[in-house]
Amino acid sequence: MLSSNQSNYLHPFTAAHYRTILVAALESGYRFALFGEPVDGRVIYLRHDVDNSIGDALKIAQIERDLGVRSTYLFLLRSQNYNLLCGVGISQIREIAALGHDVGLHHSCEPGEALQNDESLADRIRGDAALLSQQIGLPVRHFSLHNPAENDNFELDVPGLTNTYSAPYFREVKYLSESNFRWREGCPCELFRRQIYEKLQVLVHPMSYCEDLSGDRDALLYFLHQKIQLLSRVNQEQNRTLREYPVSMAEIAEHLKSHT
């Protein structure tokens, strides 16, 4: 078995290798299905939990579209990482759907997201799914919970919605995910070529394959860089003084260095 470093060298977390993984699946006779579609033969339910950035999800969605692959993108409604309800967020999600993909809700049970009074987790998810659907103008039929390993509720039943961790998509199929930039059984491009599993659900976090990132530290730095750039641009565009005397990324970096 290759070490994680060796494997990441041969199977890098890049957009080009993501394409290779999808091509390996297609050439090995797998079909990509959306949750709820009737299936037979070799099938992959490809799912993306969008934890960090809708823009990165769109990049991955375009790669899939080029290859005729459809998948399911699940978005956080209450995240500190991105605001789905800003104009750009909604239009990017609609663009992902227009590429042929399905859209649903990703939910994170963080301490700051306490449920209201007698609200149950199922109520919260049903309400958020309805709100998401109403805001983006598209049906929302599926959901997933963040960090299933740390969440006793991850197989929760919510009437009217499909939990992507429910038995038909989790216990009754092979489940693969890249957590901490590591595929436990090796890169899916090899698993697909060997046709080991007939039916799979594969979870890929879009940001993992957007750049040449090699680990969680890299990913966090990439995310923060993007975020600082974005917030800096948005805030400076909105402010006349800052438009005249802009703050550069170098100044921001200098400030961070001298204030930590």
R_g of the chain, CA atoms, integer Å: 19
- Which of 47, 51, 170, 191 contacts Zn ion by CB under 5 A? 51
Q: 189 or 202, CB closer to Zn ion?
A: 189
- CB 20 → Zn ion: shortest distance, Å? 6
Q: What is the chain's length?
A: 260
- CB 75 → Zn ion: shortest distance, Å? 10
Inter-residue long-range contacts of 148-151, CB under 8 Å, 24+ positions, other chains counted: 151/109
**Binding positions for Zn ion, 11-50, rule CB under 5 A:** 11, 49
Single-letter amino acid, residue 159:
P
- CB 235 → Zn ion: shortest distance, Å? 27
- CB 180 → Zn ion: shortest distance, Å? 13
- CB 106 → Zn ion: shortest distance, Å? 6
Q: 48 or 101, CB closer to Zn ion?
A: 48
- Using CB under 5 A as the binding rule, whether residue 203 contacts Zn ion is answered as no
Q: 40 or 152, CB closer to Zn ion?
A: 152
> CB nearest Zn ion: which residue?
187
**Binding positions for Zn ion, 62-121, rule CB under 5 A:** none
Q: How many residues of this chain bind Zn ion (CB under 5 A)? A: 6
- CB 226 → Zn ion: shortest distance, Å? 18
- Using CB under 5 A as the binding rule, whether residue 146 contacts Zn ion is answered as yes
* Residue linked to tokens 């007939």: 198
Stretch that binds Zn ion, among 91-99, 132-140, 146-154, 155-163 (CB under 5 A): 146-154
- CB 131 → Zn ion: shortest distance, Å? 19
Sign of the torsion angle spanned by Cα atoms 106, 58, 252, 87? negative
- Using CB under 5 A as the binding rule, whether residue 189 contacts Zn ion is answered as yes
- Which of 187, 200, 204, 219 contacts Zn ion by CB under 5 A? 187
Judged by the rule CB under 5 A, the positions of this chain that interact with Zn ion are: 11, 49, 51, 146, 187, 189
